[in-house]
Amino acid sequence: MKEKLMEIMDEIEIIDAHEHLPPERVRLEREVDVFILFSHYTKGDLLRAGMTEDQYKTLFNYEIPIEKRWKIFEPFWNKIRYTSYSRAVLISLKKFYGFDDITERNYIEISEKIKEFNKKGIYKKVLKDTCKIKFALTQCGTTKTESEILIPLMPLNKNGEMDTIENLTRSPYDENNKIKTIDDLIEEYKKYILKSKEEGAVGFKTMSLPFGFPERKKAKELFNNILKGKIKKIQPSIIPPSITGTNPIFDYIHDEIIKFIGEQGLVIAVHTGYWGDFRRLSPENFIPVLMRHPEVKFDIYHCGYPYVREAINLGKEFSNVYLNFAWTHIISQKFAIDAFDECLEMIPVNKIIAFGGDYSLPVEKVYGHLFMAKENIATVFVKKIEEGKLKFEDCVKIIKDIFFNNPYKLYNLSIKE
């Protein structure tokens, strides 16, 4: 039964609901070898295994012979090969290059095959032809994706912490425009949003940071004091447990921008959970924003891991919240399986988005991640069928919804046809 469900998933078109893929030429301009497969998230595993930043940078210094770089890499590869990040590497390696493992005997041959594969059309071959991805929503900092497959999402905040005069007087729309008032900055953000939409963006990404209540009077007064030189840098209030709190200027401007984005019919994607000091990124932080903006649609990334039930509960409590499994399947397959199982019991199925590869340069690994996502979802469905909670035909319908229909409708991708 699991194999049949996997076959059905292999036959359908996919919406990849979260990537960081740059234009294809960026990948093609890079010199590549076996270590391109260890760029992006596997870097974290290598560093946690004991590799230093300098050693990691050495892996991509092509002036150093590959043999020397391999000797640095091999001891750490043997430590991380069992992680979910590494499993995505091995699945993709087998699919595109025909090897089951990376060893001292074959790393040079693998490198030659990667170089040969790294040519115009690699995105189409990986994403469309192999993964059957119709659209991939990518956040690469530009609307110029140079591809019919890649659909841009843009960063919501382009002014950092909004805590110094340098950050507050910089226009997110036009660097030649000088910001003199808080309203100037908001208007420049509106121009940036409209321009991004005109150039094909379907949403904007923010983070689930601790937010204070937006107060225009307080924000304006603080803004003016910074521009007058009375305050050099805002020191945010502190919110337990001793994590950076809120900045009244950021709170106010961020809220105004979200309202405007919603008015444009665009989606707010929200990074939650796992990343650095993940205490600052709990899904709970976003509850006041959700309550203030019931008309705006929010795509909650990564199921909030490790705050999984908090994220799931957002989907349960708020009609404008969608749960996106981007990244989750390679963080931990066990977590992703449990989270998907629970989501099916708690959330209307039209609000679940099954997949986002969340990669940048190593486009090959999108396939490995997608395979793992299908594997996880098939595992849950088999369990539900055996328990008598779902019929096989129910699972087929849900598969089509979570992999395609739900993100397609949420991001209004019919406009890209």
- Judge whether residue 298 has pLDDT over 70: yes
Q: What is the rounded distance in angstroms from the CA atom of residue 68 to the CA atom of residue 72?
A: 7
Fold for 122-416, please state it.
Answer: TIM Barrel (3.20.20)
Q: Across 277-382, where does the E strand assignment appear?
A: 298-301, 321-324, 352-353
Rounded CA-CA distance 283/294 in Å is 16
Residues 201-254 have pLDDT tens digits of 999 999 998 888 999 999 999 999 998 888 888 766 544 333 445 789 999 999
Percent of the chain at pLDDT above 90?
88
pLDDT digits (tens, 9 = 90+) for 55-67: 999 999 999 999 9
**Whole-number Å distance between alpha carbons of 109 and 133:** 29
* 162-200 tens-digit pLDDT: 888 899 999 999 988 989 999 999 999 999 999 999 999
Evaluate if residue 86 carries a pLDDT over 70: yes
What does 130-169 look like in DSSP terms, one character per residue? IT-EEEEEE-SS-S---SSSEEE-EES--STT--BHHHHS
User: Which residue ranges make up each domain of the chain?
Assistant: 31-117, 122-416
Per-residue confidence (pLDDT) for residue 245, from 0 to 100 = 53
pLDDT in tens, 307-357: 999 999 999 999 999 999 999 999 999 999 999 999 999 999 999 999 999
